[in-house]
Amino acid sequence: MDSGLIQLDQGSGGRAMHELIDSLFVNAFNNPLLAERNDSAVFEIRGARLAMTTDSYVVDPIFFPGGNIGSLAVHGTVNDLAMRGAKPLYITAGFILEEGLDFGDLKKIVLSMAEAARQAGVQVIAGDTKVVPRGKADKLFINTSGIGIVPEGIHIGGQNACPGDLVFINGTIGDHGMAVLCKREGLAFENEIESDAAALNGLVDLMLESFAGIHVLRDPTRGGVATTLNEIAEQSGVGIRLFEEALPVREDVIGACEVLGLDPLYVANEGKVLAIVPAQGAGAVLSAMKSHPLGRASCLIGEIVSDDPGRVFLRTRIGGHRLVDMLRGEQLPRIC
């Protein structure tokens, strides 16, 4: 693409966004760390291995069941560090505020950021504040950076999946996306769907203590489990088989997805980790996951294979195989 206008689906987390990132940003900034396309970049400075990441939050509405734009900003940034096995240390936060934003709302959001940071064991050590005229932004956007330190012997990245590895997840899929969407659209179901947004660094610590040789960790945010596994399949040059009957989805999320014509496999999560683990560590990692409050419902959902490199297939309940592509088009704008 050499001209034209930016479209919503170029921020979807799916195929169009990856094409934009590869054709423009990775090319222009052209360096090996960025080209790895991992959740954060890991590099060495004077013998210490550091992980660094950045993220922006534009979720609408700014308050949703289970969180708000502030707690989400901390959780998402901590998680992108944890997905490289890093111990998150420091975060920065830039605030773009719309003229007319309610001060009480801003205060609530900042206090919940502070609480989320305290719980995750990170400090917000630098920030920036801008205010733009009414209508030039929507209430509040937040941009963050995060930095952490990677312990010795930990080598986690999307390029490391190997045939024979097993794929685990720490609980139900699609909760965050459906919580935000139902709130935004004013859809009421019997029980309110709550976002799963949470900091995963404590869970990841336990997993790595149980087995340091985990190959891949990634949080299936925009584009959902389907898109995230496609990224990993492409990065590692392997095939991935998902087991349909094993995919954990809450009944109310299934119901809401049916009403809205969505597939939970493509709906965003903010407190989930996909773990790709060599068979010899699988039992230890799964029991470590189950021993943590954020991993009680952890389960095996798939396996890495050498057939069909770069592709993800779903083994259906009746034994068929269906190709699971990356998200195409824009399913749920402003979900995070």
Identity of residue 227: T
Quick one: 71 or 139, whose CB is closer to Mg ion? Answer: 71
> Minimum distance between the CB of residue 94 and Mg ion, rounded to whole angstroms?
19
Alpha carbons 69 and 64: distance in angstroms, whole number: 8
User: HEC string of the chain?
Assistant: CCCCCCCHHHHCCCHHHHHHHHHHHHHHHCCHHHHCCCCCEEEEECCEEEEEEEEEECCCCCEECCEEHHHHHHHHHHHHHHCCCCEEEEEEEEEEEECCCCHHHHHHHHHHHHHHHHHHCCEEEEEEEEEECCCCCCCEEEEEEEEEECCCCCCCCCCCCCCCCEEEECCCCCHHHHHHHHHHHCCCCCCCCCCCCCCCHHHHHHHHHHCCCCCEEECCCCCHHHHHHHHHHHHHCCEEEEEHHHCCCCHHHHHHHHHHCCCHHHCCCCCCCEEEECHHHHHHHHHHHHCCHHHCCCEEEEEEECCCCCCEEEECCCCCEEECCCCCCCCCCCCC
Quick one: 80 or 303, whose CB is closer to Mg ion? Answer: 80
Quick one: 146 or 281, whose CB is closer to Mg ion? Answer: 146
User: HEC string of 169-220?
Assistant: ECCCCCHHHHHHHHHHHCCCCCCCCCCCCCCCHHHHHHHHHHCCCCCEEECC
- 219 touches Mg ion by CB under 5 A: yes
> Minimum distance between the CB of residue 310 and Mg ion, rounded to whole angstroms?
20
Contact range with Mg ion by CB under 5 A, out of 76-84, 106-114, 119-127, 178-186: 76-84
Contact range with Mg ion by CB under 5 A, out of 141-149, 180-188, 214-222, 234-242: 214-222
Quick one: 101 or 116, whose CB is closer to Mg ion? Answer: 116
Quick one: 101 or 232, whose CB is closer to Mg ion? Answer: 232
Quick one: 247 or 336, whose CB is closer to Mg ion? Answer: 336
Binding marks (x or -) toward Mg ion, 26..65, rule CB under 5 A?
Answer: -------------x--------------------------
**In this chain, which of 80, 196, 231, 234 binds Mg ion, going by CB under 5 A?**
80
Contact range with Mg ion by CB under 5 A, out of 74-82, 107-115, 150-158, 245-253: 74-82
> Minimum distance between the CB of residue 40 and Mg ion, rounded to whole angstroms?
8
Only one residue has tokens 């869970």, namely 203
Residues 157, 160, 163, CA angle at the centre, nearest 5°?
A: 150
> Minimum distance between the CB of residue 83 and Mg ion, rounded to whole angstroms?
6
Quick one: 80 or 196, whose CB is closer to Mg ion? Answer: 80
Contact range with Mg ion by CB under 5 A, out of 129-137, 164-172, 217-225, 319-327: 217-225
Contact range with Mg ion by CB under 5 A, out of 1-9, 107-115, 204-212, 219-227: 219-227
Which residue is closest to Mg ion by CB?
A: 39
> Minimum distance between the CB of residue 71 and Mg ion, rounded to whole angstroms?
17
Closest CA to 284 of 218, 209, 216: 209
- 270 touches Mg ion by CB under 5 A: no
Quick one: 80 or 165, whose CB is closer to Mg ion? Answer: 80
Quick one: 53 or 210, whose CB is closer to Mg ion? Answer: 53
Binding marks (x or -) toward Mg ion, 83..122, rule CB under 5 A?
Answer: ----------------------------------------
> Minimum distance between the CB of residue 42 and Mg ion, rounded to whole angstroms?
14
Interface positions with Mg ion (CB under 5 A)? 39, 80, 219
